[in-house]
Amino acid sequence: MASAGTVDAQAVKGPDTVGTDTRGWDGAKRVNGRKRHWVTDTLGLLVVVLVTAGSVQDRDGGRRVLARAKTVMPSMVVVWADGGYAGKLVA
């Protein structure tokens, strides 16, 4: 069981076949598509992934993906993040 990990997100362009209800504009990356948020352990192994519209802010998607990670890997007590996750995410 991992006790530490990382959280991050990546915006990816959505093709025309992706509905506009699941797609959004990420102004920071200048991409119209989806965003994947993930939590990995310190070895880089995937703990959980969440796919949202690209318009979802990193900190908002981070809050949701970390809540899921807590149920999957309750032993994880430290999570590192970059500047896109400013503020307090979880207690």
Q: Decide if pLDDT at 43 tops 80.
A: yes
State which amino acid sits at residue 21. Answer: D
Average pLDDT over the chain reads 89
Between the CA of residue 19 and those of 27, 34, 66, what are the distances in Å?
19, 10, 26
Determine the longest span between alpha carbons in the chain, in angstroms: 41
Q: Decide if pLDDT at 89 tops 90.
A: no
pTM of the model: 0.86
Mean pLDDT on 11-27? 85
